[in-house]
Structure 1
């Protein structure tokens, strides 16, 4: 679902765990997934400040 982007009126953001789009496919595995504070790159319990980085690996094709 879309949320208003608070930095610029008229834009929306879409927040979801995009790596789950690949969960069904056996040719992709999640190598790592990190959730950090968007400013200081440290762990935080403040969900509003989270950004994530996921590394997916495609396997089975050479």
Structure 2
């Protein structure tokens, strides 16, 4: 299993959307930024999961 590179750009977007959701005065901006925070955080977690390496194909034929 390979460890993918750390998703720095997605973490920066989470911080941006999170700060916008916390310190904005307009309600609809808070709601949209909060939803954006959850979606981008989910994408960052998904990107940081280890990926399986391609394996050699399994030969189903029995030896003769």
Normalised by the length of structure 2, the TM-score is: 0.27
Q: Which is strand-richer, 1 or 2?
A: 1
- Give the structure with higher Rg (CA): 2
Normalised by the length of structure 1, the TM-score is: 0.27
RCO greater where, 1 or 2, for CA within 8 Å and sep 6 or more?
2
